[in-house]
Amino acid sequence: MSTPLEHSPGNVRPEGAHMRRLVVALAAVIAAAAATVFMALPNASAATPVRIMPLGDSITGNPGCWRALLWQALQNGGYTNIDFVGTQPPQGCGIAYDGDGEGHGGALVTDVANQNLLPGWLSATHPDIVLMHFGTNDVWSNRSTDTILAAYSKLVDQMRASNPAMRVLVAQIIPVDPPSCPECAARTVALNNAIPGWAAGKTTAASPITVVDQWTGWSSATDTGDGVHPNDSGIRKMADKWYPPLTRALGGVQPSPSASSASPSRSPSASPSASASASSASASSGSAACAATYKVVGQWPGGFQGEVTVRNSGSKAITAWTTRFTYAAGELVQQSWGTTLTQSGATVTAVNAPWNGALAPNATTTYGFIGSGTSGTPAVTCTGS
């Protein structure tokens, strides 16, 4: 009769040895899988795009086509994991780009600060970086440099409340030199000279402020059509000025994890006056059609700012558009942007600029103007081709 084999560390049954090797191998597989999952977590975080908010007035948003050129340059430079954000929809610029932003035609930075408009825009879009070119209308409205800088400070505080690591790029604004405001050029110089000192006192290690010189090298005669709003040459200069500091900021930013991917709701544009009014009409030619809407952005004694939004309401793309409307109370357009505009008597005709004539179905673009008198809301006809 055989004697059972003793169980001891030096005397293990063959079946036990096999099980031990199996357990050790399984544990190694589990550990490797856990390590793989742990290493994959940073990659999932890195897939979150960096959100960039362009913030300003009509120079940024109506149509603000420097944003399109900047977006294109970033894509070509390999900066593809980005998202331009804002509650304002894209404008037609003739090239594909991420057109969301916070460019509000007619807005004063002092009004945006006083009315606490920015927190709503921030909570809807959660930016990591803000590009701010703001103050043109404040200069035009003779707001003091100190008042404008105080508004800047309030907006930066609101940005940091939204994201303590916010990176803020603040422009020394392009020259404000319209024929109707001979004092504006000197006011612009005063503001721009004060911005670097303000930024130095407001910047922090966690939320740095970078000053971007958009003023130097600018020619009001060749880079604008009206002494204020950039033309094709101007938008190229602005994009080129934004690109280097923005790419440096992108090199050090971490996307904030709390942003929502839901589409933001649209916020109303800030305006110098109370509620804006609008009227619209459309015209078509076959399957090519466009519609145009007139809005009074701001009204003051003896003058107003108007805006017309053109939409491709047809079923095929258009490459050009023309709008017409007729004033009833002697209004006179003095300057315009985003269009080539003429006025004959009471009738105003506006055709597309070189960069915003091409519109896909349902795409929109906007042009604006300053006029004398008290604006009504005339019906607008639109012809697309």
Q: What is the 3-state secondary structure (H, E, C) of the chain?
A: CCCCCCCECCECCHHHHHHHHHHHHHHHHHHHHHHHHHHHHHHHHHCCCEEEEEEECHHHHCCCCHHHHHHHHHHHCCCCCEEECCCECCCCCCCCCCCCEEECCCCCHHHHHHCCCHHHHHHHHCCCEEEEECCHHHHHCCCCHHHHHHHHHHHHHHHHHHCCCCEEEEEECCCCCCCCCCCHHHHHHHHHHHHHHHHHHHCCCCCCEEEEECCCCCCHHHHECCCCCECHHHHHHHHHHHHHHHHHHHCCCCCCCCCCCCCCCCCCCCCCCCCCCEEEEEEEECCEEEEEEEEEEEEECCEEEEEEEEEECCCCCECCEEEEEECCCCCEEEEEECEEEEEECCEEEEEECCCCCCECCCCEEEEEEEEECCCCCCCCEEEEC
Residues 216 and 316 in one domain: no
**What is the residue range of 298's domain?**
278-384
How sure is the predictor about 337, in pLDDT bands with cuts at 50, 70 and 90?
confident
Check whether 342 has a pLDDT greater than 70. Answer: yes
Whether 61 maps to a domain, the answer reads yes
Structure confidence at residue 253 (pLDDT): 65
Whether 338 maps to a domain, the answer reads yes
Residues 215 and 308 in one domain: no
The CATH number given to whatever domain includes residue 54 is 3.40.50.1110
- Measuring CA to CA, which residue among 384, 294, 385 is closest to residue 348? 294
User: What is the total count of domains within the chain?
Assistant: 2
Residues 148 and 226 in one domain: yes
- Name, of 22-31, 168-177, 218-227, the range with top average pLDDT: 168-177
pTM of the model: 0.64
- Name, of 92-96, 141-145, 218-222, the range with top average pLDDT: 141-145
Residues 215 and 295 in one domain: no
Q: For 345-374, what is each residue's pLDDT tens digit?
A: 999 999 998 778 888 898 888 888 888 899
